[in-house]
């Protein structure tokens, strides 16, 4: 199977020094994969549903939700083509540990779990790439924890926004913002009023522009400095 997603952990890039004549790349788990699409609001899978597959996004953004024992719905992560395989937490379990919802239209590779685990058993290259994907998920979880643990509200918000945006972008391109101010407040342990006030301060500094449902970053360096608590908003 050929693939368009160079960010997928199971993509096999062309050998040699020259540029590939095609954007299509080979897949290490081709026999396990089917390309699927989801519309905004569709569930890729639901918490406690029997787990059969994991997903690697080619386009779009997914929100990961977990329902606590008291029935509270908590956003625990996001996945885009640059960050995280979706459903990886349930790879060794019979049921999905979370729910995944399409926040935008999504194109993804749907990888059958049993076939993937069989590929891992016979091919060490696949095994090592799966380990890399698991490490990426751990890194994302740690980054979420660090964002929540920041002392200042501005640092929490800046760190969280950087988690949502493609790592390799450094432009003023407008992105969809998949969470409301209220959801950001819930994730970061802030009040909605505080989130609105800090976002307004970031806008006044021309660090970002965030009309309803979208966001543009005008100064990535300042946003990173605030996220790392090297700079404060006045």
Mean pLDDT of 176-200: 86
Q: In this predicted model, which residue has the larger pLDDT, 102 or 26?
A: 102
Q: What is the mean pLDDT of the chain?
A: 82
Tokens (6 digits) for 85: 């395989």
Assess whether pLDDT exceeds 70 at residue 115: yes
Q: Write out the two tokens for 139.
A: 């890194």
Q: What is the pLDDT of residues 190-214, one digit of tens each?
A: 899 999 999 999 999 999 988 877 8
pLDDT value, residue 140:
73
pLDDT at 176 over 80: no
Instruction: Find the range with the poorest average confidence among 97-111, 113-127, 171-185, 201-215.
Output: 171-185
Domain boundaries, the chain: 2-132, 150-227
Helices (H), the chain: 113-122, 124-149, 153-164, 181-188, 192-204, 220-227
- Which range among 4-13, 30-39, 42-51, 57-66 shows the weakest confidence by mean pLDDT? 4-13
Counted residue by residue, the chain has a size of: 234
CATH fold group of domain 2-132: Jelly Rolls (2.60.120)
Residue bearing tokens 């993509």: 11
The whole-number pLDDT of residue 126 equals 87
Asked whether residue 171 carries a pLDDT value surpassing 60, the answer given is yes
**Cβ atoms 123, 117 nearer than 8 A:** no
Could you give the CA distance from residue 105 to residue 174 in angstroms, rounded to a whole number? Answer: 16
Inter-axis angle of helices 181-188 and 124-149, nearest 10: 90
49 against 229, higher pLDDT: 49
Please list the residues that pair with 176 across neighbouring strands. 214
CA dist., res. 113 & res. 214, Å (int): 34
CB-count exposure of residue 135 (10 Å: 0-12, 13-18, 19+): exposed
Burial of 206 (0-12, 13-18, 19+ CB in 10 A): exposed
> What whole-number percentage of the chain has pLDDT above 90?
20
Average pLDDT estimate for 3-14: 70
Q: Do domains 2-132 and 150-227 have the same CATH topology?
A: no
CATH of domain 150-227: 1.10.10.10
């Amino acid at each position: 199977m050929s693939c368009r997603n160079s960010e997928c952990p199971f993509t096999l890039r062309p050998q040699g020094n020259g540029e590939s004549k095609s954007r299509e790349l080979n897949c290490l788990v081709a026999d396990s994969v089917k390309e699927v699409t989801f519309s905004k609001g569709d569930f890729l899978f639901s918490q406690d549903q029997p787990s059969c597959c994991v997903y690697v996004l080619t386009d779009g953004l997914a929100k990961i939700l977990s329902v606590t024992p008291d029935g509270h719905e908590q956003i625990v992560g996001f996945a885009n083509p640059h960050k995280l395989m979706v459903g990886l937490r349930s790879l060794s379990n019979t049921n999905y540990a979370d729910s995944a919802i399409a926040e935008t239209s999504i194109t993804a590779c749907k990888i059958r779990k049993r076939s993937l685990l069989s590929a891992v058993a016979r091919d060490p290259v696949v095994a090592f790439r799966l380990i890399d994907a698991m490490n990426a998920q751990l890194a994302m979880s740690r980054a979420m924890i660090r964002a929540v643990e920041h002392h200042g509200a501005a640092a929490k918000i800046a760190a969280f926004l950087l988690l949502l945006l493609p790592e390799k972008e450094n432009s003023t391109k407008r992105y969809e913002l998949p969470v409301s101010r209220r959801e950001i407040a819930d994730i970061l342990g802030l009040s909605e009023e505080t989130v609105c006030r800090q976002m307004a301060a970031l806008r006044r500094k021309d660090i970002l522009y965030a009309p309803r449902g979208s966001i543009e970053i005008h100064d990535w360096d300042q946003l990173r400095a605030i996220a790392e608590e090297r700079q404060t908003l006045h």
